Structure 1
Amino acid sequence: MLFLITLVGILKFIYTIELEKLNFLEKTYINREKRGIVNKAKFELTDTHIKYHINFRLDKLLIRKALSRISEETCFKFEETSNYLLATLRYKHGLYFLTKFPVKKEKNRDIYLLATVKDITKVMRETLHALGVDYEHNRPDRNKYITINFKNVYSVFMPLFEITYTPILTFYNIGYDYTSVMHFTVKEFSRNGKKTIESKRKLMEPFTGRSTHLTFNDAKLLSLKYCINPKLKNAKCHNYGYPNPTMPYICKCLPFYYGPKCENRVRNFGYCSRINYFKAMSSITSRTLTLGNTCNFFIYTIPGKRIKLKLFFHHGLLSNHHCKNGKSIEARYFSDFSVNGVIYCPSIFPISIVSESNFIILRSTFSESKSKVKIMFKMF
């Protein structure tokens, strides 16, 4: 009997908690989506100097660090205030990571964070959402890149996975970015521990929604939306560059290009193999590359053709599922190479990639130590 009484008590407690969660979600998100998702333009910010307030239950250092990472890449400046009423961004304790927009034309937005989860990616994600950036997986073209398993999504979270028909992302010709901080992870809001999101590029699933810094395109979108004079938005930047938000007459470049217009490929220094530009032919080409610090390599072939690439490390390093101490190689193989690619860590297993266009970029980070990787490639 005592066991049954205890069990009933536990079940009632669980039911109360779940009911509280549902009520919280209904109040903070679902109603807002029904009222305001198509009218977000009227809530756009008019100032990039933002005051924010943090609830005492939250990790202030974590939030400050997240805001610092946004400021580093954009024109936004954040100022903490103890006056709740003066804050544009109000970080509150909640049961989920969610953002609530004002019903009327008030400037403040409430950002709910789960105090027990120290996740800087989700702090940045909800902050950018409050600044007017939509979730990446809700883009109108998302079905080309991912599949949403709605059967695995807890029903009350369905609005978080609905396509948003807005031109904000396609207007700037920004490619779909699996690693964007605005992308959910593959099991986020799952009711059964199974995937809610499946990538159609399987190599990208482990990295989906996992960035701990703004990606190049996260910063680009926010900058083009708020930081750059409209007359400069169509500046002639090459290789997916865009006007620098702090020096708008100079282009901000991807890390493997430089120059006022991002017109030059970077050269290798340090321990890196000096030759870093290769042409894929109809027969297999093999190269052993020396890595150290940051190295960049470019593989190209004739327009209209693609590239088959295989990478593997020397000396049978132990396999691991996470890159440690900054030792990894990123392979950008999409037709839009501004989008982050697959990360290959030291492993006894090779990785095989087929490019979407006639171009692949490899970028390695291996601190000071010398390492070697073998690449084999051919035109496809």
Structure 2
Amino acid sequence: MAMCALCVLVFTFLYCGTVSATMGQLPRMYSDFPNIYRNEGYPLGYYQQAWRLHDRWMTSHGDALVVAGRRVKQFGNAVPENVVHRRSKRKAIRSQHMRWPYATVPYIFDEAFSDSDKDIVHQAMRRWEENTCLKFVERDNPQENIITTSNYINFVKSGGCWSKVGMFWWTPEQKLSLDNECLQNKNGVAIAMHEIGHAIGFFHEHARPDRDDHVTIEWDNIRWGRYRHFSKFYWNMIDTFDIPYDYLSIMHYSDNEFSWDSQTRRTIETRDPSFQKIIGQRISLSYYDIKMTNDMYSCAARCPYYIRCNYPDSFIGPSCRCLCPNYHGLGARECPQNNHIQVVHGYGGHYLDCYQGTGTTYRGTRSWTRSGHTCMNWAHTLDRDVSTLTYPNSAGGIGNHNYCRNPYAGSPQPWCYVSDIRVFWEYCDVPRCRQ
């Protein structure tokens, strides 16, 4: 008995020494250890908490599976639901295998989705398609013959708003949840845009490694159990495509997200005070959201190699025209001058989408307004003064499209209707042709 007791004491001493040595390494392994430990608030002892942080550090370094919102353990070869396989949160997913082939995203809807629910999701898809080469196609639609992968998104109602990140190439179906509280929200379309953004390969903006240069995370104001949503990751784990930090990104949290008192306590403080009340906007894709999508899916590769943009911070869009930031940094628009596309090696020319006179003869393809609103399809405006009903047979350029037009000689320039009833209609962002 005495020998057994002695063995137990020796084993305990050696084991505790090993644990203590590991605990001593944790601050170096996980740089935020002191702050996280102080603010975590879980009723755990020191060693349990330390091992919890050790597990999180191992997870974030690729030795376990990471959920876009919670940690899980890997059992054998099983891949649990809602995980990102050996990936960690980042602005844009680096692995080519987790991007949708040919920028084509097949999808289906769960039977729980009503027609109005589907319409909200379709509007969100159109926002992503407008200035990128992404295309969303119904998987079960026999008319769609361009599906290039067996993978697809299944829109479901499964406890809140969440999405996996990127395409899960190892399993055909991946779920994206948009519950009723998401779809029936006044920002339902933008919430759907946010979740679709995850599915095409985006993590939250404030997970970028350079976020501390732009925001401060107020850990004391975050609700228990939500600290993981504010984790920061490092340059060897992200791909920002050299695009600057974007306060306006639709993938950014608002300043009181997961606050235990959303009325008075901020969880994110912006270094630039002018953006404090703007982060977390759910109005539109930002210009950098669009630019990064085009970069991530190599949309410009579809254009002739000799086309170049010479505007600062511009890029070639999927229509092979040069796109610049729209007003207030939301959305994109064609660069405003006629020298915005540079053709090198003497090949070809370019077409400037502009209007002459009052624009009654304008037949371009601009489909957004000065403030960035997307134009309504003229075939969907039968309850308004101008539609395919009042201008049949393509009179005045009106037809089954949403391009800007001006059928009125008295109007000074092309315009269109918008779905926002507070605006109703607005002049389009079409430049006047130079004489």
User: Which band: TM-score by shorter chain?
Assistant: 0.5 to 0.7
Aligned partner letter, 2:118: K
Asked if the contact 1:28/1:100 (under 8 Å) is kept, the reply is no
Instruction: Provide the residue aligned with 2:177 in structure 1.
Output: 112
Asked if the contact 1:29/1:99 (under 8 Å) is kept, the reply is no
CA distance in 1, matches of 2:211, 2:169: 30
Pick one of 278, 303, 316 that aligns with 1:243. Answer: 316
Asked if the contact 2:151/2:173 (under 8 Å) is kept, the reply is yes
Question: Shift of residue 254 of structure 1?
Answer: 2.8
Asked if residue 252 in structure 1 is aligned to residue 293 in structure 2, the reply is no
Pick one of 68, 84, 87 that aligns with 1:36. Answer: 87
Asked if residue 57 in structure 1 is aligned to residue 108 in structure 2, the reply is no
Gaps of 5+ in 1: 1-24, 271-292, 296-322, 328-365, 369-380
Deviations 1:25-48 (A, max 9, x none): 979743335842278614222231
| CA pair 57-147 structure 1, distance change in 2 beyond 3 A | farther
What are the equivalent positions in structure 2 for 1:1-380 lying under 5 Å apart? Answer: 29-31=70-72, 32=83, 35-37=86-88, 41=95, 42-58=97-113, 59-82=117-140, 88-101=152-165, 105-106=170-171, 108-117=173-182, 118=185, 119-166=188-235, 171-193=240-262, 194-226=265-297, 227-229=299-301, 235-247=308-320, 250-255=321-326, 257-259=335-337, 262=340, 294=370, 325=422
CA distance in 2, matches of 1:129, 1:34: 14
Aligned partner letter, 1:94: S
Q: Secondary structure at the match of 2:340?
A: coil
CA distance in 2, matches of 1:158, 1:107: 31
CA distance in 2, matches of 1:176, 1:233: 30
Aligned partner letter, 1:63: V
Number of aligned residue pairs: 254
Percent of aligned pairs sharing the same letter: 22
Asked if the contact 2:217/2:269 (under 8 Å) is kept, the reply is yes
Question: Shift of residue 218 of structure 1?
Answer: 0.7
Q: Secondary structure at the match of 1:30?
A: coil
| CA pair 76-141 structure 1, distance change in 2 beyond 3 A | same
CA distance in 2, matches of 1:80, 1:246: 23
CA distance in 1, matches of 2:179, 2:223: 18
Larger Rg: 2
Gaps of 5+ in 2: 1-65, 73-82, 142-148, 328-334, 343-353, 358-368, 372-419, 428-435
Asked if the contact 1:251/1:261 (under 8 Å) is kept, the reply is no
Asked if the contact 2:208/2:234 (under 8 Å) is kept, the reply is yes
RMSD across aligned positions (CA): 4.2
CA distance in 1, matches of 2:161, 2:340: 37
| CA pair 234-94 structure 1, distance change in 2 beyond 3 A | farther
Deviations 1:353-376 (A, max 9, x none): xxxxxxxxxxxxx958xxxxxxxx
Question: Shift of residue 143 of structure 1?
Answer: 0.9
CA distance in 2, matches of 1:202, 1:127: 29
Asked if the contact 1:29/1:98 (under 8 Å) is kept, the reply is no
Aligned partner letter, 2:157: H
Instruction: Provide the residue aligned with 2:403 in structure 1.
Output: none
CA distance in 1, matches of 2:157, 2:370: 40
Q: Secondary structure at the match of 1:181?
A: coil
Aligned partner letter, 1:131: I
Question: Shift of residue 62 of structure 1?
Answer: 0.8
More RCO (CA 8 Å, sep 6+): 1
Asked if the contact 1:43/1:105 (under 8 Å) is kept, the reply is no
Deviations 1:112-133 (A, max 9, x none): 2232233222211111111112
What stretches of structure 1 move > 6 A for 4+ residues in a row? 25-28, 167-170
| CA pair 203-27 structure 1, distance change in 2 beyond 3 A | closer
